[in-house]
Amino acid sequence: MSADSIPETSVAGLIQRLLDSPSPPPRVSEMGRVKEVADGVAIVTGLTSALADEVLAFASGVRGIVFDLEPGRLGVVLLGPTEKVSPGESVRRTHRVIGVPVGPALLGRVVDATGRPRDGQGPLDPPHDRPIESPAPGILDRRAVSRPLATGIRAVDAAVPVGMGQRELIIGDRQTGKTSIAVDAILNQRDTGVHCVYCAIGQRGDAVAKVVGAVREGGMMARTVIMAAGDEDVPGLVHIAPYAAMSMAESFAAKGHDVLLVLDDLTHHARAYRELSLLLRRPPGREAFPGDIFFIHARLLERAGQFGEGRGSITALPVVETQAENLSAYIPTNLISITDGQIYLSPRLVRRNQFPAVDLGVSVSRVGGKAQARAFREVAGNLRVTLSQFEELEDFARFGTRLDEDTRARLARGAAMRIALRQPERDPMPAAEQLAILLAAMEGLLDGLDEARALRAMTRVRQAITEDDGGLAACIAADEPLTDELRATVLAKARHAIGPAEGDGDDADA
């Protein structure tokens, strides 16, 4: 029977059509082999055409990133458990760089450094992937920092203001409240429309759980993405985490949103990068860090800023840990030179029970002052000088020298100002309430009150301003100067809130 006589609907006709159809072109796939495996890295041979930062797929299901390109071998950073990879197993190229899911589907979720959910709420909606590495916007694509990003913390908003698009470093020893500053800044965005991305780098699981709980209780989870690359994860995931978080922030900024990005903390990130570099036999430098440690943080933070042409902004709050208040260590000095200022948290203030422990003598904001409201500048303009002079007088008064009336008054004013800057965590404060308390302290309404009475007085001032601020919030929002009439109105409300209640308290004590 000839081929022409076979019915096309029969099985034989189907087979004949398959035989007559052109054969598919050959598919060439480059395969390699694992030569060595170490803690978090692997040495691969046979992939002569692989590219830098390309994703490789191992036969065991683990993925890796090409880190080193050397003749005859590749240094690969693993993104999965090292124990699953064994010498001799096959490796293939994927012809793509590492990316991360981005978009609104991530809001309210807890994910790892590759965008996989870690909160047990099911898979993400089909997301759009974005490479974790991208070039920083050029000068012409940026705009000046001109809008404030309120943190709700009096010591920060008054003396170390942060502007949208700024990179402000949070620096200090362990257990000084660095994460609390960042979390309170996130919680204060509840009524601003700012999207937030919190990236936990090398943190313990219980610490991340506390942050998740605080954000959820503060009502900001619906506009926050939390990324966790914990200390139990492989160093490769810790290394890519801040870049993945920045890509998520860039996706929101590209749609016109303002984004607050917290990187907590880059000390662990630098240590993970050092570990990977030493395992791959890269030459060590100062403190055994590789020579490009400055570059990996600079290229990350340069992607933040205030952008134009319908784009939003990315405000970065990187966190770095110091040891024994050593600000001149390698990684802290690198990040201080990269960022636009730093909020320094002092252990000395922690021992004095001064929270937040912001040292205004060392903290500085090189950009945010241009975005600070005029009313804040008028009231808190000499706050830093007042506190520094108070501390000098306080040290002098410890010698037991007899002091004149003017010196005692300055000591009372400085003590009142220091108490006015105290604020419990998870209690970010609206700008009008902050300004009313600062104005009351600067005008001497808290002078002579002990700590307990001063704290009660500040609570009553907050309540009075919440009920009727006399137009103070509108003045701050419109960036208008504080008029004499408005100043007098706010002081009258503060004086009324403080005076009678304290008098009643004194009578009761008597």
Which residues are catalytically annotated?
366
Q: Which residue has the tokens 């009258």?
A: 492
Which residue(s) pair with 447 in the sheet? Answer: none
Residue 402, Cβ neighbours under 10 Å: how many? 6
Structure tokens at 15: 């087979």
Structure tokens at 53: 């930062």
Structure tokens at 1: 């029977």
CA distance 303 to 246: 8
Q: Write out the binding residues.
A: 172-179
Of the candidates 341, 177, 334, 367, the residue with the CA atom closest to the CA atom of residue 264: 177
CA distance 440 to 436: 6
Q: Which residue has the tokens 């960042």?
A: 182
CA distance 315 to 83: 39
CA distance 490 to 464: 9
Q: Write out the binding residues for ATP.
A: 172-179
Contact present, 260 and 148 (Cβ < 8 Å): no
Structure tokens at 393: 């007088």
**Roughly what angle, to the nearest 10 degrees, separates helices 293-301 and 235-254?**
20
Element (H, E) at 174: none
Q: Evaluate the omega torsion of the peptide bond into residue 117 and state whether it is cis, within 30 degrees of 0.
A: no
